[in-house]
Structure 1
Amino acid sequence: MSVGAPRGLASSGQKPITEILHPLSAAEEPISPGPDVTVNVGGEKEAVLTNGTPVETSSPASASSLFNRLQLDDDLEADARDPYASMETRDLFVTVDDPKKHVSTMETYITYRVSTKTTRIEFDLPEYSVRRRYQDFDWLRIKLEDSQPTHLIPPLPEKFVMKGVVDRFSEEFVETRMKALDKFLKRVADHPVLSFNPHLNAFLSAKDLNKRQGLALLTKVGESVKHVAGGYKLRARPAEFCAMGEYLDTFSQKLGTIDRIAQRILKEQSEYLTELREYGTVYSSWAASEEELRRPLEGVAGCVTTCCGALEDLSENMSQDFLPVLREYVLYIESMKNVLRKRDQSQAEYEGRLEAAILRKQEDRTPMPIEVEKCQDKVECFNADLKADWERWQSNKRQDFKQLLTGMADKNINHYEKCQAAWESLITLLQDKQTEDKTSETN
């Protein structure tokens, strides 16, 4: 069972405990395929849900067909299923901003202001403002993983950067990290279970965060996950979780390819920008020695300068907005795979205990041990929590990538519009110059 689940959890869209502990079979509880149906090469229909989860049929959806179901349009029906997507139902608001650099004899580090507004009775005050550094966020994530092993914990931006490549105290890097930390904390605060975790409460409200607090806190679910009985090998992962794993593998490959190409484009844009600036300077110096061609040459130099500024804005958007989202989802995939592995370990423990209990029952007819039933409950809780988090993750992913791709399109349009306007103004200047020359010749 989920640890730290709040009152009224049924409203979060998760199954009631009676249904979790005693699930119906696939034949008794069929999953409706909905409106989305794909047809494979052989002509057979293959039902697929829009969030990447296959319908439980004899032939589960392939990873490629799952990946192709990424929807960029507004999925209002999917969002409506998550009451936490509405601002009206939220009662915990967090913001990360105001980075400050601290220099001491021992170390140099950055802290961020974490502001909280809430109406929850678990908090003593309606508003808080504390300062936290990266390692405090890392502490929180570790605590969430330990105390909520059945849930997907949002990823943090990576701690270390390559030496000599990125200055971790530069304004650009600090701004990018601050946005990532803000997104991490908002995702946790919006989660119907994680947001009630006592470690999050301490992180948001305590002036001096005691990181030793709760070091011994590890749920029984977490303990059983880490210590699988007898190294039992999992028989078979259920079809829907197999499809999740395949989807994550394919999605990871696609994101990796896009990231590598985007990095190369960014590098080439940087090199091109350097050449373009030098190109404009040549026209400016040329104009100084050619009085008759001064205006046209200065016009060309001005066009090149405008194009430089437009390209600089485009590159900045790619490095600060586009690439960080790709990297976040690469880390998100690893987090999801980690939860899947824990689920598999929990299932393996249950199967191992069940087989051992069946053997003992055949030998001396002893009743089924209560530990077996507890293990089954843990597996069902894992399944229910993972499915709910999967749907929430898919909804967030649709919104994030729609915003990301729309923003990228707008930035590219803006870039080319600036360049086009600059060169069109040069044509007007040249035409005016030509008219002036003809008039002077006539006179």
Structure 2
Amino acid sequence: MPVASGCYWLSLSCVFTQEVALTNGTPMETLSPASASSLFNRLQLDDDLEADGRDLYASMETRDLFVTVDDPKKHVSTMETYITYRVSTKTSRIEFDLPEYCVRRRYQDFDWLRIKLEDSQPTHLIPPLPEKFVMKGVVDRFSEEFVETRMKALDKFLKRVADHPVLSFNPHLNAFLTAKDLNKRQGLALLTKVGESVKHVAGGYKLRARPAEFCAMGEYLDTFSLKLGTIDRIAQRIIKEQSEYLTELREYGTVYSSWAGSEQELRRPLEGVAACVTTCCGALEELSDNMSQDFLPVLREYVLYVESMKNVLRKRDQSQAEYEGRLEAAVLRKQEDRTPIPMEVEKCQDKMECFNADLKADWERWQSNKRQDFKQLLTGMADKNINYYEKCQAAWESLITLLQDRQTEDKTSETN
């Protein structure tokens, strides 16, 4: 790997370190770590922390609904070309007529489900879907790599929904998992009154003040989003540089192979160098593919997650504004004609408190998932880089052995 790429990796690790110092929505100042061990200490990703996160939701987790997205298939018709995915479900819940289901869904079906979840569960964080559109000429949406990456993202989305203690009982999810032909017009009446009222807040009312804990959430999301954006840009530069370096490296190895054909005395050493370069090319290609297919998708998922969380925060603010507006109007009426506070104000207060409770629960759940996801991401990144350098080192060490053996043979020939 070129020297500049190493600088990028250093920048990448620094950005990660700054980001992970933000804990539970409270930004904190941090210094760059002096070693890899201090980086992992700052991540606070030890087993005890993960155990605490699991215990927090031990009584809420649903373990009776399991879903899988796999087996992508391409469909070509006169009107359009699209990909469908197999969605398999196993469950013991009484809401389902059968213990197992297997249906095929395309991306727009997943999009339909997410919209329905947002409409009917406005107080909860809905996991993001991968982006629908891709840049023409840059990514082929029917390529094996793209379809595989999208399939993994759709599988993660559905698993997150199925594992949620509230979303997993949504009737739209039931229809998505079981209906042979998904009728996307059905269920329009399932919008909750909570969702409707949140959309129709009293116009012109300005929120007094967002509670401190939700202010901290907003600040954290802003900072986290900036860090992810920086990491993504650096990673993109690394991948581009690796691609350019790989092209040069392959040409480099070809030169040694050609040279070996015209130098009988140097044939074995030159072929050895060419073999080493070929090995390094394969290792680098594998490392770069891992970044493109495993590393970047996780970053992008969390960029979308941030937007989803911000959207829920905005809805919470609207709920608070609705309550404050109705309360203020009721207080003025009471001062004028001594009428009691109407029931609708109390209902708005209950709704706001419900919103707060749901958001805080989903926030803790999201933080726990994020810690585990980034631990897996960083560990995988470290393993892949170690594997890359080990392959390169082994290849060049084998060349040294070959050269030493050749030197021994030459001395033996001279002696004889």
Q: Do these two structures clear the TM 0.5 threshold for a shared fold by scoring above it?
A: yes
**Contact 1:84–1:192 (Cα < 8 Å) also in 2:** no
- Larger helix proportion, structure 1 or 2? 2
Does the C-alpha gap of structure 1 residues 56 and 235 become closer, same or farther in structure 2, counting only changes over 3 Å? farther
Does the C-alpha gap of structure 1 residues 383 and 109 become closer, same or farther in structure 2, counting only changes over 3 Å? same
Does the C-alpha gap of structure 1 residues 287 and 263 become closer, same or farther in structure 2, counting only changes over 3 Å? same
Moved more, 40-49 or 268-277: 40-49
Does the C-alpha gap of structure 1 residues 59 and 173 become closer, same or farther in structure 2, counting only changes over 3 Å? closer
Does the C-alpha gap of structure 1 residues 436 and 44 become closer, same or farther in structure 2, counting only changes over 3 Å? closer
Alpha-carbon distance, 1:230 to partner: 2.6
Does the C-alpha gap of structure 1 residues 127 and 269 become closer, same or farther in structure 2, counting only changes over 3 Å? same
- Give CA-to-partner distance per residue, 1:268-302, whole Å, 9 cap, x none: 00010011011000100100111100000000000
Alpha-carbon distance, 1:44 to partner: 23
Does the C-alpha gap of structure 1 residues 383 and 31 become closer, same or farther in structure 2, counting only changes over 3 Å? farther
**Contact 2:68–2:87 (Cα < 8 Å) also in 1:** yes
Percent identity of equivalent pairs: 92
Q: Does 1:110 align with 2:83?
A: yes
Q: Separation in 2 of the partners of 1:251 and 1:43?
A: 10
**Contact 2:89–2:100 (Cα < 8 Å) also in 1:** yes
Moved more, 407-416 or 41-50: 41-50
- TM-score (norm. length: structure 1): 0.84
Alpha-carbon distance, 1:223 to partner: 1.3
**Contact 1:284–1:301 (Cα < 8 Å) also in 2:** yes
Does the C-alpha gap of structure 1 residues 397 and 196 become closer, same or farther in structure 2, counting only changes over 3 Å? same
- Give CA-to-partner distance per residue, 1:346-400, whole Å, 9 cap, x none: 1001101100000000000001011111110110010000000000000000000
Does the C-alpha gap of structure 1 residues 119 and 206 become closer, same or farther in structure 2, counting only changes over 3 Å? same
**Contact 1:82–1:392 (Cα < 8 Å) also in 2:** no
Does the C-alpha gap of structure 1 residues 40 and 365 become closer, same or farther in structure 2, counting only changes over 3 Å? farther
Does the C-alpha gap of structure 1 residues 354 and 65 become closer, same or farther in structure 2, counting only changes over 3 Å? farther
**Contact 1:50–1:71 (Cα < 8 Å) also in 2:** no
Identify the residue that residue 310 of structure 1 maps to in structure 2. 283
**Contact 2:15–2:230 (Cα < 8 Å) also in 1:** no
**Contact 1:48–1:61 (Cα < 8 Å) also in 2:** no
Does the C-alpha gap of structure 1 residues 229 and 259 become closer, same or farther in structure 2, counting only changes over 3 Å? same
Alpha-carbon distance, 1:441 to partner: 1.6
Q: Separation in 2 of the partners of 1:283 and 1:128?
A: 57
Q: Separation in 2 of the partners of 1:255 and 1:148?
A: 27
Match of 2:336, SS state, is helix
**Contact 2:14–2:32 (Cα < 8 Å) also in 1:** no
Q: Separation in 2 of the partners of 1:328 and 1:310?
A: 27
Alpha-carbon distance, 1:216 to partner: 3.7
Unmatched 5+ residue regions in structure 2? none
Alpha-carbon distance, 1:47 to partner: 17
Does the C-alpha gap of structure 1 residues 113 and 420 become closer, same or farther in structure 2, counting only changes over 3 Å? same
Moved more, 88-97 or 419-428: 88-97
Number of residues paired by the alignment? 412
Q: Does 1:206 align with 2:199?
A: no
Does the C-alpha gap of structure 1 residues 129 and 40 become closer, same or farther in structure 2, counting only changes over 3 Å? closer
Alpha-carbon distance, 1:436 to partner: 1.0
Moved more, 84-93 or 273-282: 84-93
- Give CA-to-partner distance per residue, 1:49-88, whole Å, 9 cap, x none: 9533699999999999999975222244654555756999
- Give CA-to-partner distance per residue, 1:392-439, whole Å, 9 cap, x none: 000000000000000000000000000000000000001111111111
- TM-score (norm. length: structure 2): 0.90
Identify the residue that residue 335 of structure 2 maps to in structure 1. 362
Alpha-carbon distance, 1:224 to partner: 1.3
**Contact 1:83–1:89 (Cα < 8 Å) also in 2:** no
Alpha-carbon distance, 1:442 to partner: 1.8
Q: Separation in 1 of the partners of 2:302 and 2:343?
A: 40
- Give CA-to-partner distance per residue, 1:235-275, whole Å, 9 cap, x none: 00000000000000000000100000000000000010011
Match of 1:204, SS state, is helix
Q: RMSD of aligned C-alpha atoms?
A: 7.3
